[in-house]
Amino acid sequence: MSRRCQLTGKGPQSGHNVSHSNVKTNRRFEPNLQKSTFYSDALGQKVALRVCTRALRTVSHHGGLDRFLLKTNDAKLAPEGLRLKRKVKKALSGTSARKAS
């Protein structure tokens, strides 16, 4: 399983450990990934994702998974996030069509 956020696509970055003698050795900065379960009102089910803590805060700030996905630009979402966004849009368009008739 890759170390990549399933919503934002944030992954590991590279850099250096710098010693007191200024010797630089390579290292990786891993994203702080957490297993989290979000409830989607549009889908009516829970969605388990592996997301970074920044994405958790952003989803909370937007008021839930559905609103986060709908407000976020497609270019900023990972493939799993795009798949969820399409499912949410489809579910919302189906409920609004039923309410209208």
Provide the number of structural domains found in the chain: 1
Give the domain CATH number at 26: 2.30.170.40
pTM of the model: 0.83
Per-residue pLDDT, 100: 56
27: in domain = yes
Which residue shows structure tokens 């399983």?
Answer: 1
User: Residue 34 in contact with residue 51, Cβ under 8 Å?
Assistant: yes
For 10-23, letters b (16+ CB in 10 Å) and e give bbeeeeeeeeeeee
Residue 4 placed within a domain? no
Query: pLDDT digit string (tens) for 51-94?
Result: 999 999 999 999 999 999 999 999 999 999 999 999 999 999 98
What's the full length of the chain, in residues? 101
